[in-house]
Amino acid sequence: MLKIKFLELSSDVVFKSFMLSSNTVKYKARLIHLITKINEEDLKRATYTSQELRVSNKQDKVYKTDIIVTVKDHIISLEMNKNYYKGLNEKNEMYRAKIMSDELDKGEDYLDLKGVIQININDFHSCKGKRIVYEFMNIEKYSKEVKSEFYKNYDVDLKNVDEIDYNKSEINKMLMIFKDCDYEKLRGDEIMDEALDELERISSDTKIIGLYDKEKVEKKILNTRLRYAEETGLEKGLEKGLKKGLKKGLKEGLKEGLKNGKRGIARKMLKANMSIEDIIRFTGLTHKELEKLK
């Protein structure tokens, strides 16, 4: 039997398909529980959507999230970040702010608001250290007193997931599904079996494969453009630098050549026993320079 090559779960189209599937409910509930400590049974009853966040007017940019999880007491924005780029953290903060703004507009008071949680699954080192999960909260700098638990942020670092000892911890094993590994080693319990079966189904779906290939091509085109812009910029910078250096060198060379010519004339005038004052007047050299020539 031909073995199916699994598509990368860190790919945007595969991640959304996997997270929106009804076949991965147990996996999602356990993973989010391990990250946030939210009750696992509540997470099994949560709704998972990919949606455009509400904007205040038609001129505003539309913010399309990866996954929004609505659970009993929380709203979770779940983002898959394949690569780091400048402005990524600001973009995620903007998503979080939009969700919080929407939540604050609901109801007659602020007592029944759902807590807003941002989970960033990063395929790069987003923080210093060797932990898999990093938790950020709004706390006082010195006393470490938590001002509010209305908002929390979690960064999941896939680069710190241990590929050798995949049984190191439960969350380590669950996140191995995002890595290029021997997936059969991850099987053995109901949650992982269901998740791997769904990833295998997604990986054989021709429509998803087409979107996946398109995404890969678009990223290659973007990388090519960025590299071309960088290399072109370097070439232009080098060319500009060479021209500037050549111009400066030529100017310095002419200046030095003129000075050497004056020294040659001064030597002849010294041999002819002309007065120092006349030599200075005709060549422009200084007393000190003439003393060196003597």
- Which residue range forms the structural domain that includes residue 282? 229-293
Do residues 109 and 198 both lie within one domain?
Answer: yes
Quick check: is 236 in a domain?
yes
Q: Which two tokens stand for residue 294?
A: 């003597």
What is the arrangement of strands in the sheet containing 133-139, beginning at the earlier edge strand?
47-49, 67-70, 74-81, 115-122, 146-157, 133-139
Residue 214: inside a domain: no
Residue 196 inside a domain? The answer is: yes
Tokens of 211: 């979107």
**Boundary (domain end) residue, out of 187, 204, 221:** 204
135 and 245, same domain (yes or no): no
Phi, psi of 118 (to 5 degrees): -110, 125
- Dist. CA 177–CA 180, nearest whole Å: 8
Indicate if 79 and 152 belong to the same structural domain. Answer: yes
Choose among 184, 179, 181, 180: nearest CA to 197: 184
User: Domain for residue 222, yes or no?
Assistant: no
**At a CB cut-off of 8 Å and minimum separation 6, what does 142 contact?**
none
Instruction: Let me know whether 250 and 109 are in one domain.
Output: no
Give kind and range of the element (H or E) at residue 80.
strand 74-81
Say if residue 106 is in the same domain as residue 157. Answer: yes
| 101 within a domain of the structure (yes/no) | yes
48/27 Cα distance (integer angstroms): 13
* pTM given for the model: 0.67
Residue 236's pLDDT is what?
65
Do 269 and 129 share a domain, yes or no?
no
Question: Quick one: pLDDT at residue 45?
Answer: 95
Are 200 and 268 in the same domain? no
Which of the listed residues 204, 220, 245 is the one where a domain comes to its end?
Answer: 204
C-beta of residue 66 within 8 angstroms of C-beta of residue 78: yes
In a domain, 81, yes or no: yes
- On whether both 88 and 196 belong to a single domain, the answer is yes
Residues 6+ apart with CB under 8 A from 164: none
Residue 128 neighbours by CB distance under 10 Å: 7
Shared domain for 87 and 20, answered yes or no, is yes
Q: How far is CA 1 from CA 4, 116, 283, in A?
A: 9, 46, 95
Task: Flag whether 279 is in a domain.
Answer: yes
Please check whether residues 195 and 236 belong to one and the same domain.
no
pLDDT score of 133: 95
Is 29 inside any structural domain?
yes
pLDDT along the chain (294 residues), means of 10: 74 90 95 96 92 44 66 90 81 73 60 81 90 89 81 92 80 92 89 94 84 66 61 64 68 68 74 76 77 75
DSSP string, 152-166: EEEEEEGGGS-SS-T
Claim to verify: residue 110 and residue 34 sit in the same structural domain: yes
Residue 67, classed as helix, strand or coil, is: strand
Q: What is the domain count for the chain?
A: 2
Element (H, E) at 291: helix 287-293
Residue 190 confidence (pLDDT):
94
Instruction: Let me know whether 180 and 281 are in one domain.
Output: no
- Given 150, 169, 204, the domain boundary residue is 204
